[in-house]
Structure 1
């Protein structure tokens, strides 16, 4: 029997008119007003789903999104914290506006990141290690005696590696990329043998 996983990206950390920066592992911002509204929309969307397990990264934005979703559950599970779900470290581009990031690394490097999850020079993380942590989590959930749906809330830099760890890819026919938008989610099925299939990606409510 397959177990359903919902991998959610946290809501916005900036509102209209704010200077948007590349927020990574070392920048612990809370949800903005629009981000809180996105979290509440997710909570309403997921209300009919009885989550058996919930795991979030340790940063404020991921915890606040998860807590908003669980607040609407009739019998919510305790929120677990998964440190690897934190976010990647953008190195010298951490908390920098996008124009400055592009000026440093160039648009082709940024395109390779969005298309293929290739880290630009200076970004401080190991893609293979993140994929291994996703694979370990998939295996752990598959072995669990619990079969109910799982909520996972993380950041964009980490979420994309759930796809690559399972050998999956978004659907270009639907103009999907590896990027998961703020307040969006992907829906996966995890089989008892640990294999993972993708039902949907980048769904915004």
Structure 2
């Protein structure tokens, strides 16, 4: 059995900050709560037999910091590889803008279609077909690997195309939310014949 854990990075905004739509061109580090989320992920993976053999990150700091903290918490030295596939999408004119401004430009219905069906709003610089092909190629490389447990730390926009790996995106969408919250993860598994979703948007409790 091959297990692909797809985790979203931890928080990049703290109390008092104005959250913005952080995309491919906005490279923020984790804030303290985000570091705590990453540690919670690592401890959860350790306790549930999900310690990764290989870790993949995007070129963005928030995914790299999350992966580093996860590995510290699991006390493992798994190899880390950087994949452009895992970079957050480019939000075009809405990059790094507050959500109110984004909604004012594209409308609440466009946000709903993005969250529920991964339909890209006008102006965002996203090629869904390219992303889907990228995830499919990635899954095929995992199928051929001698390793068993893989962790991909990415961002919300990029992650929502990963379920295409299952070959049944609509079936996935009927059973799970597409969105991953910060500090949450999903699991896709390959049983030697097909890929299937074992869980999505699982967010471990932060350690006290």
- 1:105 corresponds to: 106
CA deviation map 1:73-119 (0-9, x unaligned): 34321111111101100000000000000000000011000010000
Superposed CA RMSD: 1.3
Q: State the distance in 2 between where 1:46 and 1:199 align.
A: 15
> What is the correspondence of 1:1-205 to structure 2 with a 5 Å cutoff?
2-48=1-47, 49-146=50-147, 148-166=148-166, 167-168=168-169, 169-172=172-175, 176-193=176-193, 195-205=194-204
Which aligned segments of 4 or more residues in structure 1 are displaced greater than 6 angstroms?
none
- Mark the runs of 5 or more structure 2 residues left unpaired by the alignment: none
CA deviation map 1:47-67 (0-9, x unaligned): 243321111111000000011
- Secondary structure at 1:72 match in 2: helix
CA deviation map 1:146-195 (0-9, x unaligned): 2x2111100000111001343232455xxx421110000001112334x3
**8 Å Cα contact 1:51-1:76 kept in structure 2:** no
- Secondary structure at 2:187 match in 1: strand
Q: State the distance in 1 between where 2:118 and 2:164 align.
A: 9
Q: State the distance in 1 between where 2:76 and 2:33 align.
A: 27
Q: State the distance in 1 between where 2:127 and 2:174 align.
A: 25
Q: State the distance in 2 between where 1:165 and 1:118 align.
A: 17
- Secondary structure at 1:47 match in 2: helix
Q: State the distance in 2 between where 1:136 and 1:30 align.
A: 29
**8 Å Cα contact 2:135-2:164 kept in structure 1:** no
